[in-house]
Every structure is written in structure tokens, then in C-alpha cells.
């Protein structure tokens, strides 16, 4: 047995998803909506996994099932090797504290009636962490950490903050409980270019300073490239490609990834079929879900679901006819 | 309130009326506020050509939205608007609200930043698009519904017959924005203002929607004003560009000219803050330090001076926007790539 297998508490990735699916039953629709389907990946300490894909492909749903709100329909979510579904009560609450989220719209995720100080203290109060005095000290610390002077900003309300400042408050809140994993769901998508650069630099500084691990969800492939060590590409609820970010950006193996990259760079793109509509998640195509838009689709693609398999070290792709065979 | 414009400008308006569908001349907007008036937009001049896209780029708070809202007549009574905005030869500044309302929708329409706040959460999306159709044309409910489905299909909502019966909360963010665009397009306006319409969308949808706008603007000769803070998108999807800072246009030119030879240090800083797809992971970004000036305080000299890497002696005097090269205007004493 290897040393790794003997010490699972060290070897276990911080987060692991095993065959996770989420279906929604929507009134008026006979079939359930398949938002996330059989997704497996892991995130290791100190590394950032970027999750990309088109609108509606299931990125946010993946994030939400990780924090068990809502629970997945099938599959397991393991935090340091422990299945979250097996936890109850205080054990579950403790585990969930390890994972915090930063959302897209900084204003709508902050209660407009509260002062910055109280917004950042809220997670500490709810979880009864520390005395009043300790909480006050911790809030100051957190505000400094995200680059806000507590004296200048502590007593402001969200409407008196700029978008970038409000997002810094959102980040401070997420960091209050000292999480191991921070899920950024489009956390910089609504910020303008210069503030986005400031927040991206802040997230990177916090990562090295606090040893944070990120699941970084974004639709902007350039931003994802900037922050990620690993990248997962989702299409219609499925993970279509997963691997080291340099490999995926240098030589995308899935036709879908190639088309995403072509949209943002000068990369050549194969001719698309005339009809280029995203199929309905209520009734996804048989076999490969991308086949209705794929320029390389063949008969096999309608018959067999392509499994995620390795095309190179640290590079997996779910396609019967990958673009590279290394 | 309308101020008279100089004779020279008025005469050019007539001679270029065919060429431009919207001509904005020296538009200024200020808001009354307790802590001194907020000068949100100062002396902005823009031209929109049928079948072409004008991009307005700039940081948050630079006055992009206030400019187009002033043109649309969507600012409340706390706003004082001066200057001129001519749409197909008609002056919009000072036009009575009932007349403006008729022009909104039919002659000019707008797609907003935030789709959720503009959609009715208790109404099926198909009904909302159908209602927009019925506001502009006298058609029956059935016809409006099938037109709504067609519009949803044209903005690439998958399975539109079925999704038309969904409520907004059942859609992802991207789908909701497609619905908003379908509603704005329902009247086939002569100018479409798109205020950060694709900011929250993924790249392929962004590309698809911008391509869709390209198709429509050419087919109907519609002028498009695309507001974005992403110079990358503007570079790919516009014909003309105006860069705004602190309520002023600080650089403007045909897009190819401007991107090919950026003159304003601010425009260059906006360009440098965009992460590069070919840079290694975790490399720090060049962010513009500091923040734009407070629009309620008077600005002496160049507004960008406190943040500008090229600031020099002359920058204490306000640089005016002037044509430095054919078709290329900038407001800077020490432009990049130009020998003094
Ligand atoms: N509560 C819900 N009820 C029904 N359907 C839902 C619900 N939440 C999400 N969906 C559907 O699940 C699919 C995945 O949505 P999700 O929000 O995860 O996508 P996303 O990748 O985050 O998209 P975006 O980039 O637009 O945020 C979509 O088809 C969406 O309409
Ligand atoms: N109704 C108002 N009353 C007072 N000030 C206002 C009002 N509306 C806008 N402003 C101010 O005018 C300035 C320009 O705002 P505007 O919304 O045009 O910026 P923008 O360039 O569209 O920014 P963003 O990219 O964030 O949308 C800002 O300083 C803003 O605070
Ligand atoms: S499996 Fe077939 S349809 Fe799917 S991406 Fe590969 S080639 Fe295209
Ligand atoms: S005028 Fe001076 S401060 Fe302003 S952009 Fe030019 S060099 Fe910079
Ligand atoms: Mg999402
Ligand atoms: Mg705006």
C-alpha cells in the first residue's frame, strides 16, 4: 500500500464531487430539468479550480449543491474525505462553515439597512464565535485584509459604497469564518475593468496569505485563465473537459472548449452547423449532449455518452473524437 | 432646458442629418444634491450612424448610463440637461414627456444592465414579450404570442414555445437578458441603446448576441450604442468608439484607428487592466490605482491627473478634446506615441 493510501486524512482532496447530479422538477414540465449531470472533480488545497461554461450549464447549481442548498439528487460531495450527506446537526454546520461563497452582485447580497461593520460581524454572531470584543477586533482585521479602512468604511451602509468596495465587504464576510474553500460565483463579473483588476489582485493576495483554495466560477475565459491552476468546462450540466489550465488553454481537446476559446481569441474555429441552439435541459440530446452543435459529430455521438477519460496526464475529456490525441 | 448651440454646429447638423440618426452635441447633465451639484456628464458630443455600432467605454461612474438616459429622456426632475440630442432630425432635449414616451420604444429602445429588475416576476416571459409587442403594434393576443415566441427564438432562447411559458426565476441569468433584448427589439427601433447588455453573459452568448445585434442593425439600418467597460469587447464589436472619464469624452475615433494607436493614457490603462489569455496563471494585473474624482467637487486641470503615469506640468490646465489626427480626437497634453 502506498503512503498516500495509509494517510487518507492528508491525501484526501479538500473537496471532491463524485457523480453529482441535480434535477429540478418544474411545474408544467413532465420531465425533470437536468441542471447538473454526473459531475466528478476534486479540488486540492491551495489550488484554484476554474469552472467555465455557457449560461445555464449548471455552474451555480454545482456551487449550490456543494454547500447543500439544495442537496444533490444523486452522488456524493466529500469535504476532506467526509461525505456531507452523512453529517447531521452541528457536525454539518461545522463542515459547511469550511465553505463560503462570494456572489456576483455585491449589493443584492448585502442587507441595505446594515452597516459594513455589522454585515461583516454577522457570520461571527450567527455562529457564536468569540466574545463581543473579539468579534469587533476580528471585523477590523477582516476589513483591513480586504483593503477597507474600518474607520472610514465601518459605519457606512451598502448604498454608500462603490461596487468594488461592496464586493470587498462581500469577500470580508466570506472570510469571517476562516473557510478553507471559497466559492466565487461570478464574483468579479459585474465589476468594471479597473476594479475587477483590483479585486482579482486582492483574491490572489488572500490566496497566498491565507492559503485559500478557490472554486472560481466565471463565464469569462480570460479571467478564469488568470486565476486558475485547473479548469473544468461544463456543457448542459455535464463536465466536458477537465485538467491543468495551461494544457486546456494551449490545446483544448473538446470541440466545445475549442469553440469557447475561439470566441475570445484568434484561434481558428471549425464551421458550425446551421442550427446553433442550446438544447433544452428538459430534454438533453442522447449520447453526447454537445452533438447538436458539434462540427465533428458522428453516428456514435448520438448513441453513446462519452465518458470523461484521460487524453494526457492531468487532462481529461468527454468526447469520442477528441481534437488532440497527444 | 435647452441652451442654444453655436451657429457652426447647428449648420453641420443639417448637412449630416442623412448620415447620422442620432447627433449629440455638447450634452451636459447635472443632478441637484445637498452636497453640491453632481456634474455627471460634461460637454459630450456623439454621433450614431445607421447600421453601425458606437461603443461608449469607461469606468463605473464615468457617465455612460447618464448620457444615454438623458438622450432617452429617462432622467427625473432632479436632472438638468443642457445641449442637444437630435434623433432623425428631431430635438429630444426639452421635448415634452408624452412625446418622448411615444418615441421611446418605436424610435429608440434600451436594454438595461440588470435583467431581473426589469422583468415582472409574476408573469410568464412569453406574455411579457407579447405585451411589449402589443405596445407598439395593434395585433391580437394570439399573434402577439407567436411573435413573442419568434423573438425569443431570434435571441436564441432554446425551445422557445416551451420556455415562453416559464417565469423569470426559472431562467438562468443569461436567458433573462435574452428575454430583455427580445423585448427591446420588438419595435424595431432606429437606435438601440444597449447598456452593458452582455456583461453577465458567457463568451459564446456574448458573441452570439453581439452578432445578432450586428445582423439586426444591418438588416433594419438600426444604429446601436453599446455601453461597456470592456475595451476588449468594444474593440471587437463596434465601428466607432468614445472613451469617457469623469463625465467627459477623453478619446474618440473609428474603432480600428483608436485601438491601433491609443493616445490617451487613460485608454491605455483600461486596456492594460484586462487579463490576458496568453499570460501565465496568477500573474498580477496592472490595475489603475485610486478611483475617479467625486463628480460633486470641482475638478481643476485634467481629471485623470491624480492617477496618470504621464502627468506633467501642463496637466493643471484642462485639456480639451481636439482632433489630433484625422478622425482621432483626444484630450491630453502628453499623448502616447506623439512627439511633443
Ligand atoms: N431552482 C430552479 N428551478 C428550476 N430550474 C433551475 C433552478 N435553478 C437553476 N435551474 C436551471 O438549471 C440550469 C442550470 O442553471 P445554473 O444557474 O446552474 O446555470 P449557470 O451555469 O450558473 O448559468 P449562468 O451563467 O447564467 O449563471 C438552467 O437551465 C436553469 O434554468
Ligand atoms: N439620479 C442621480 N442623482 C445623482 N447622481 C447621479 C444620479 N444618477 C447618476 N449619478 C451619478 O452620475 C455619475 C455617472 O453615473 P453613470 O450611471 O452614468 O455611470 P456609468 O458610467 O454608467 O457607470 P457604470 O459602469 O457603473 O454603470 C456617477 O457619479 C453617479 O453617481
Ligand atoms: S462526442 Fe461527438 S458530438 Fe460530442 S464533442 Fe465529441 S465529436 Fe462532438
Ligand atoms: S493631460 Fe496629463 S494627466 Fe491628463 S491624461 Fe494627459 S498626461 Fe495624463
Ligand atoms: Mg450562475
Ligand atoms: Mg452604467
A135 has a pLDDT exceeding 90:
yes
Q: How far apart are CA B262 and CA B337, in angstroms?
A: 8
Residues A217-233 have pLDDT tens digits of 998 889 999 999 999 99
A324 touches chain B (CB under 8 A): no
**Residues pairing with B320 in the sheet:** none
Query: For residue A236, how far is its CA from the centre of ligand 3 (angstroms)?
Result: 13
Q: Give the pLDDT confidence score for residue B17 in this predicted structure.
A: 45
B212 contacts chain A (CB < 8 A)? no
Residue A325's pLDDT band (cuts 50, 70, 90): low
CATH number for the domain harbouring residue A39: 3.40.50.300
Residues 177-216 of A with CB under 8 A from B: 186, 189-198, 200-201, 204
B269 lines ligand 4 (CB under 6 A): no
Report which of A13, A58, A9, A193 is spatially closest to residue B272, judged by C-alpha positions: A193
Q: Is residue B51 in a domain?
A: no
pLDDT digits (tens, 9 = 90+) for B183-235: 988 888 889 999 887 766 666 667 777 777 777 788 778 899 999 888 888 88
Half-sphere exposure of B114 (CA within 13 A, CB side): 11
Q: Which residues of A touch B279 (CB under 8 A)?
A: 225-226
Query: Looking at the 3D structure of chain B, how many domains does it have?
Result: 1
B150 shares contact with chain A (CB less than 8 Å):
no
Instruction: Please list, residue by residue across A112-144, b when 16 or more beta carbons sit within 10 angstroms of its beta carbon and e when fewer do.
Output: eeebbbebbbbbbeeeebeeeeebbebbbebbe
Q: How many domains does chain A have?
A: 1
A269 band by pLDDT with thresholds 50, 70 and 90: low
Q: Which three cell numbers stand for residue B136?
A: 407598439
Q: What is the mean pLDDT of residues A37-52?
A: 96
* B309 reaches A (C-beta below 8 A): no
CA distance A271 to A262: 11
Tell me if B220 CB under 6 Å of ligand 4. Answer: no
Measuring from atom 10 of ligand 2, which residue has the nearest CA? B40
How many whole angstroms from A23 Cα to the centroid of ligand 1? 10
Range of the domain at A251: 1-98+181-190+213-269+283-326
Rounded to whole angstroms, what are the CA distances from A324 to A250, A254, A258, B276?
A: 11, 8, 11, 24
Q: What is the DSSP letter of A245?
A: H
Report the pLDDT value the prediction gives residue B340, as an integer from 0 to 100.
Answer: 59
Mutate to test the pocket of ligand 3, among A276, A320, A323 (most ligand atoms within 8 A of CB): A320
Indicate which residue's Cα is closest to atom 2 of ligand 2: B31
**Residue A178: beta bridge partners?**
none
Nearest-CA distance from B6 to chain A in Å? 36
Instruction: Give pLDDT, residue B241.
Output: 97
- Given an 8 Å threshold on Cβ–Cβ distance, is A222 in contact with B274? yes
d(CA A69, CA A66): 8
Answer yes or no: is the C-beta of B38 below 6 A from any ligand 2 atom.
yes
**Grid coordinates standing for B234?**
468594444
Tell how far the Cα of B273 is from the centroid of ligand 2, in angstroms: 22
**How far B235 CA sits from the closest chain A CA (Å)?**
12
pLDDT score recorded for residue B104: 87
Q: Which of B245, B308, B316, B317 to mutate to test the pocket of ligand 4 (most atoms within 8 A of CB)?
A: B308
- Inter-chain CB proximity A260 and B203 less than 8 Å: yes
Please state the rounded mean pLDDT for residues A3-31: 80
- Domain for residue A168, yes or no? no
Domain extent for B130: 116-188
A31 has a chain B CB within 8 A of its CB: no
Residue among B29, B33, B35, B38 whose CB has most ligand 2 atoms within 8 A, to mutate: B38
- Read off the pLDDT of each residue in A67-83 and give the average, rounded to a whole number: 94
Residue in B60, B173, B276 nearest the CB of A162: B60
**A150 lies in a domain?**
no
Exposure on the CB side of residue A268, measured as CA atoms within 13 A: 3
Q: Which pLDDT does position A2 carry in this prediction?
A: 43
Listed range (A44-53, A192-201, A266-275) with the worst mean pLDDT:
A266-275
Q: With an 8 Å Cβ cutoff, is B277 touching chain A?
A: yes
pLDDT at position A58 over 50: yes
pTM of the model: 0.80
Average pLDDT rounded to a whole number, residues A40-49: 96
- Inform me whether the pLDDT recorded for A254 exceeds 70: yes
| Chain B residue closest in CA terms to A217 | B202
Asked if B203 lies within 8 A of A28 by C-beta distance, the reply is: no
Record: contact A282-B286, CB cut-off 8 A: no
- According to the model, what pLDDT value does residue A132 have? 94
**Is residue A196 situated within a structural domain?**
no
Domain contains B171: yes
Residue nearest to atom 1 of ligand 4 (CA): B332
Note whether residue B68 is domain-resident: no
Distance (Å) from the C-alpha of residue A130 to the closest C-alpha of chain B? 34
Of B59, B202, B287, Cβ closest to residue A219: B202
The secondary structure of chain B, three-state, reads CCCCCCHHHHHHHHHHCCCCCEEEEEEEEEECCCCCCEEEEEEEEEEECCCCEEEEECCCCCCHHHHHHHHHCCCCCCEEEEEEEEECCEECCCCCHHHHHHHHHHCEEEECCCHHHHCCCCCCHHHHHHHHHHHHCCCCHHHHHHHHHHHHHHCCCCCHHHHCCCCHHHCCHHHHHHHHHHHHHCCCCCEEEEECCCCCCCHHHHHHHHHHHHHHHHHHCCEEEEEECCHHHHHHHCCEEEEEECCEEEEEEEHHHHHHCCCCHHHHHHHHCCCCCCCCCCCCCCCCCCCCCCCCCCCCCCCCHHHCCCCCHHHHCCCCCEEEECCEEECCCCCCCCCC
* Residue, of B5 and A202, whose pLDDT is higher: A202
Low-confidence ranges of chain B (pLDDT < 70): 1-18, 113-115, 173-174, 199-205, 340
Cα–Cα dist A86/A23, whole Å: 21
A207 is a domain residue:
no
pLDDT range class, residue A5, cuts 50, 70, 90: very low
Position B132 in a domain: yes
Contact B275 A259 (CB under 8 A): no
Amino acid at each position: 500500500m502506498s503512503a498516500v493510501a495509509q494517510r487518507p486524512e492528508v491525501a484526501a482532496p479538500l473537496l471532491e464531487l463524485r457523480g453529482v447530479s441535480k434535477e429540478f422538477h418544474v411545474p408544467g414540465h413532465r420531465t425533470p430539468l437536468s441542471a447538473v449531470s454526473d459531475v466528478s472533480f476534486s479540488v486540492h488545497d491551495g489550488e484554484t479550480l476554474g469552472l467555465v461554461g455557457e449560461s445555464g450549464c449548471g455552474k451555480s447549481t454545482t456551487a449550490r449543491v456543494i454547500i447543500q442548498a439544495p442537496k444533490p439528487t444523486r452522488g456524493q460531495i466529500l469535504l476532506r474525505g467526509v461525505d456531507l450527506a452523512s453529517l447531521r446537526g452541528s457536525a454539518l454546520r461545522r463542515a459547511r462553515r469550511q465553505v463560503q461563497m462570494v456572489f456576483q452582485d455585491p449589493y443584492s447580497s448585502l442587507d441595505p439597512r446594515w452597516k459594513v461593520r455589522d454585515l461583516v460581524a454577522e457570520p461571527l454572531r450567527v455562529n457564536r464565535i468569540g466574545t463581543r470584543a473579539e468579534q469587533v477586533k476580528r471585523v477590523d482585521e477582516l476589513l483591513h485584509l480586504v483593503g477597507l479602512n474600518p474607520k472610514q468604511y465601518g459605519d457606512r451602509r451598502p448604498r454608500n459604497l462603490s461596487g468594488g468596495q461592496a464586493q470587498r465587504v462581500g469577500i470580508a464576510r466570506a472570510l469571517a469564518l476562516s473557510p478553507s474553500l471559497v466559492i466565487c460565483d461570478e464574483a468579479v463579473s459585474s465589476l468594471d475593468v479597473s476594479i475587477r483588476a483590483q479585486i482579482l489582485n486582492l483574491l490572489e493576495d488572500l490566496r497566498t496569505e491565507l492559503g485559500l483554495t478557490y472554486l472560481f466560477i466565471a463565464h469569462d475565459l480570460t479571467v478564469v485563465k488568470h486565476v486558475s491552476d485547473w479548469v473544468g468546462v461544463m456543457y448542459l450540466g455535464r463536465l466536458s473537459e477537465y485538467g491543468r489550465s495551461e494544457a486546456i488553454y494551449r490545446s483544448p481537446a473538446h470541440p466545445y472548449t475549442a469553440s469557447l476559446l475561439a470566441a475570445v481569441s484568434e484561434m481558428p474555429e471549425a464551421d458550425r452547423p446551421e442550427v446553433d441552439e442550446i438544447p433544452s435541459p428538459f430534454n438533453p440530446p442522447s449520447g453526447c449532449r454537445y452533438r447538436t452543435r458539434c462540427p465533428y459529430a458522428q453516428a456514435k455521438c448520438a448513441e453513446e455518452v462519452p465518458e470523461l477519460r484521460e487524453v494526457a496526464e492531468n487532462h481529461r475529456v468527454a468526447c469520442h473524437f477528441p481534437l488532440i490525441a497527444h | 432646458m435647452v441652451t442654444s448651440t453655436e451657429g457652426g454646429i447647428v449648420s453641420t447638423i443639417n448637412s449630416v442629418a442623412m448620415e447620422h440618426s442620432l447627433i449629440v452635441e455638447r450634452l451636459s447633465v447635472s443632478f441637484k444634491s445637498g452636497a453640491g451639484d453632481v456634474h455627471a456628464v460634461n460637454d459630450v458630443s456623439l454621433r450614431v450612424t445607421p447600421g453601425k455600432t458606437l461603443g461608449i467605454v469607461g469606468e463605473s461612474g464615468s457617465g455612460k448610463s447618464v448620457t444615454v438616459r438623458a438622450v432617452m429622456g429617462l432622467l427625473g426632475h432632479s436632472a438638468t440637461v443642457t445641449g442637444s440630442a437630435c434623433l432623425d432630425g428631431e430635438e429630444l432635449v426639452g421635448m415634452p414627456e408624452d412625446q418622448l414616451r411615444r418615441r421611446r420604444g418605436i424610435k429608440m429602445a434600451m436594454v438595461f444592465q440588470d435583467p431581473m429588475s426589469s422583468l415582472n416576476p409574476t408573469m410568464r416571459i412569453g406574455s411579457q414579450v407579447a405585451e411589449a409587442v402589443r405596445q407598439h403594434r395593434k395585433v391580437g393576443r394570439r399573434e402577439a404570442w407567436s411573435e413573442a415566441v419568434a423573438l425569443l427564438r431570434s435571441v436564441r432562447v432554446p425551445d422557445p414555445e416551451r420556455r415562453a411559458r416559464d417565469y423569470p426565476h426559472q431562467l438562468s441569468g443569461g436567458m433573462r437578458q435574452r428575454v430583455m433584448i427580445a423585448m427591446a427589439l420588438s419595435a424595431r427601433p432606429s437606435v438601440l441603446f444597449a447598456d452593458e447588455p452582455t456583461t453577465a453573459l458567457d463568451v459564446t452568448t456574448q458573441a452570439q448576441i453581439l452578432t445578432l445585434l450586428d445582423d439586426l442593425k444591418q438588416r433594419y439600418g438600426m444604429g446601436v450604442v453599446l455601453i461597456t467597460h470592456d475595451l476588449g469587447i468594444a474593440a471587437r464589436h463596434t465601428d466607432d468608439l468614445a472613451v469617457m472619464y469623469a463625465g467627459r469624452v477623453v478619446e474618440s475615433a473609428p474603432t480600428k484607428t483608436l485601438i491601433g494607436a491609443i493616445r490617451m493614457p487613460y485608454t491605455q490603462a483600461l486596456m492594460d487592466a484586462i487579463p490576458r489569455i496568453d499570460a501565465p496563471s496568477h500573474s498580477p494585473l496592472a490595475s489603475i490605482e485610486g478611483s475617479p474624482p467625486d463628480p460633486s467637487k470641482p475638478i481643476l486641470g485634467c481629471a485623470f491627473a491624480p492617477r496618470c503615469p504621464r502627468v506633467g506640468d501642463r496637466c493643471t490646465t484642462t485639456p480639451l478634446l481636439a482632433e489630433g489626427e484625422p478622425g482621432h480626437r483626444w484630450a491630453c497634453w502628453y499623448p502616447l506615441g506623439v512627439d511633443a
